[in-house]
Structure 1
Amino acid sequence: MSIEKVKDYFRQYGMEGRVLEFPVSSATVELAAQALGCEPGRIAKTLSFLVGARAVLIVAAGDAKVDNHKYKAQFGVKAKMLSADEVTELVGHAVGGVCPFAVNEGVTVYLDESLKRFDTVYPACGSSNSAIELTIPELERYSGFAGWIDVCKGWAED
């Protein structure tokens, strides 16, 4: 199970106990915000795209939407989200639990600027009923991100 992969990943840092599991679904931003009792923007959603032949993950604030113009300027191609089957195969997590931790080899992770306005955020942990609260520096460290990008719109500081 994907959540076990993520817990194993965090175990090396002594953080597996920080992984939260809920009796309800947290598969969408709205459901995760309800399960956690926080504002939707603090849900760090992980979006999966195909750039050329490689999978790219963009972790963004829950209230942000991908801006196609900004995306194309960043990656040089039109935004193409992965299908549910492609996400599982290429990333290693199923839709609803996609996160930037314990992903398959060759997956590149980016963090969107929309996250920087929060002290802590809640990314999923490999299942549709899990999350972990991380500070932005922790998210940077544990996601193995390639860099900060600005490809979203519709959030408070837009």
Structure 2
Amino acid sequence: MSIEKVKEYFAEYGREDDILEFDQSSATVELAAQAANVIPARIAKTLSFKNKAGDNAILVVVAGDAKIDNKKYKAEFATKAKMLNPDEVVEYIGHAIGGVCPFAIANDGVKVFLDVSMKRFSTVFPACGSSNSAIELTCDEMEKYSHCEKWVDVCKAYDDTLSE
């Protein structure tokens, strides 16, 4: 089970007990916000895309109210934004849609990027490998635990006046 791998991953940092498991689904931004009792923008959604070569994946973690800006994405990654299909998500990432996160990734070649849309908030809530889990992390902790390559600016349509 994917959440078990994420718990093992966070056990290395002594944070496994910080993983929240909800009685209800948190598979969408709206459901996750309800479960965590926060505004949807504070949900850190992990989007999975084919890499430039098309033989692996990259993850981009963005704020819950953000959308990928295709022009910014292409400028950053030198390729068109092409999302993985559900089977590819499980194959490359190891977590099913609804629980995709940048932790305990199945394939070592998957690179993680964090979008600046999350930096508006003191903490955000990424999933933890299942459709009813999350963990509250600061942006610095997101950077540390996701082992991200770097912060990027590839989103649009989010409310930059929101903060918490």
TM-score (norm 1): 0.98
Residue identity opposite 2:146 in structure 1: S
Spell out the pairing of 1:1-158 with structure 2 (5 A cutoff).
1-51=1-51, 52=53, 53-104=55-106, 105-157=108-160
Give the whole-Å Cα distance in 1 for the aligned partners of 2:72 and 2:138: 26
User: Greater strand share, 1 or 2?
Assistant: 1
Residue identity opposite 1:156 in structure 2: D
SS at match of 1:38: coil
Give the unaligned 5+ runs of structure 1: none
Q: How far apart are 1:157 and its partner, in Å?
A: 2.2
Question: Percent identical across equivalent pairs?
Answer: 65
Q: How far apart are 1:156 and its partner, in Å?
A: 1.3
Q: How far apart are 1:49 and its partner, in Å?
A: 0.1
Runs of 4+ in 1 over 6 A off after TM superposition: none
Give the unaligned 5+ runs of structure 2: none
Give the whole-Å Cα distance in 2 for the aligned partners of 1:106 and 1:94: 18
Give the whole-Å Cα distance in 1 for the aligned partners of 2:151 and 2:139: 11
Give the whole-Å Cα distance in 2 for the aligned partners of 1:73 and 1:44: 22
SS at match of 1:58: strand
Cα RMSD after superposing both structures: 0.9
